[in-house]
A and B are shown apart, each in its own frame.
Chain A
Amino acid sequence: MSIGTTLSGTGHVALVVWMVVGWGMSSDPPPFEVMDVSVVSGLEFAALTQGVQPDLPSSEPVAIEIPVVDQTPSILVEQTPPEVAELPQPVIPPAAETPPEAPDLTAPETSVTDAAPEIPDMPQIINPEPSAELGSNPRPIPRVAPRVAPEIIAPPEPDATVAPEVAQAAIEEVKATIEKITEPAEETTAPEAAANQIVTEAEEPTFAPEISSRPKTRSQQAAAVVEPPNESAVDPVAAALAAAGLVETPTPTQTPTVTPRLSDGQLSDGDKSGFLRQIGNCWNVGPTSTGALNTIVEMSFSMTPDGRPVEGSFELLSSSSGNSNDAITAYEAARRAIIRCKGDAGYDLPRDQYAQWQNVILTVDPTAMRNR
């Protein structure tokens, strides 16, 4: 027999014995409550319940007490007043300090009269005595410099000049003279006159200003100044020929009435910087956003011949940094400056060079203004 069969048989036998003996199984029923009832018929039940409403629950919902919820004021919007935060508990403010005594602000009595105010005696201005050290001459006195030449060299002889008169000369000689004169004379530099003293750079006079305090002059726009004809500008050759009876008496050479600009038709740097300076006087970056101050914009606009910007011609071409709002802000600030500073007479630009500044492309770079 296998172990399994033995165990199974033993288990079954034990179960049968346990059931026969009845261990653990009580035949007594558990105690229970007994209630007397009476049996009634249907008619008797109807008679008993007639006219009596059943005690049903009310159809009204039971009132539930709502918990108190803190009413949190919403954040203010435009239509609502500002929030007033309630104090967690009343706080007794500190005792007010006794204010300092107010100074007496009462104005002293004054009397008003029509009499002219008395003029105090004017102090006499006494010129100071000239300094004994400097003397009466305020100019700085140059120091004595070492001699650079033991002897003073005599100045060179003056250049030879053409005789003003050519008299009784042969025609050939005159022609030869003419050819000789018409050759461009080489410029000869006369030797510098030696002096008995010299002032070197290292020995500049004391107290001498390094730069002139005089304001710099504006760029000379009127370069086309008509210089008066020089009476001495008579061609000497023609004069000699005239004296010889070969030609008519020459007339003074006429200087051209209009001298071309040094810039050869281009707008000069002075004109450009002057134009920028005029705009810059109105270009106020103070009320400009910090973002716009970091933004370089390029804009274009047109000008009228009388130096005024065409307000409808402004255009933002590009921006190098910053977002679009910053670029627009920087552009608008510059546009307002250009419009504002045109003045009543327009910008000071050479009218005869209108073609040069008819259209302008302006790069506005406020980055250098950030740290000012």
Chain B
Amino acid sequence: MNRTVSNRIEQNRIDQRFAALKAQGRTALIPYITAGDPAPAHTVDFMHACVEAGADVLELGVPFSDPMADGPVIQKACERALVHGTRLQHVLEMVAEFRQRDSETPVVLMGYLNPIERMGYDIFTRQAQVSGVDGVLVVDMPPEEAGDNAALFAEHGLQSIFLLAPTTSEARAKAICEHGEGYLYYVSLKGVTGAATLDADAVGAQLSKLRRVTELPLCVGFGIRDGATAAAIGRVADGVIVGSALVGRIAERADDPASIPAALKSILGEMREALDHDVPS
């Protein structure tokens, strides 16, 4: 589970992207959408739309029947995707298709362990690498359970993104930071995705503590839903992750998928604008 050799880190799209953002003094905008929602045929278009609206990294959700850490919005997205038969295999194909037109934007697969476990770790890592996946965030695989998988992922150029929570002890945070690659996903509040409001000052205080133990970019998810919340978190974080707010808009337009790219661009554009032009007070 050691950090991989330095040349591989440099090659990884995630590290390159964060290095560039840092040089520009910008905050990463990281949208999450569930693959296959509302139907598999649209996902790649949505990914490109996100990039056109200013996304720096894409988190692509692998639908799962039992998304234990997700609120109703993403639960329903999983259900819509699964009804259409979207499986991990298809998600990897979507990434490969995305890569035909976009070889630069990092793509992180986010989801639960069982689809990977069932596919088999060897097959998954090989196919993910070929498809052009850059990172993997498995919600229910904390570092102590990652074991050999993290090393296997690294061999195939897949960075292991780990979560940190407000309840994470200092000792655990240190261990997680040591194992983490790419960026760290700070869960801003206790709860499931799509939950209520967040306190930017409290998040900022937590991130300051984390910065003492890691140099990895700190990105914040949970509770970011518009330009104002993005800007508030952007003042203290290296990246903002927006999921349920986007997935909610997809749900509203599930019957009219052609209108979804414009809707995604609208909200992401607002966030991009807020992040880039926010003057710290």
Q: Do A and B come from one complex?
A: no
Q: Which residues of A contact B (CB under 8 A)?
A: none
Seen from chain B, the residues whose Cβ lies within 8 Å of a Cβ on chain A are: none
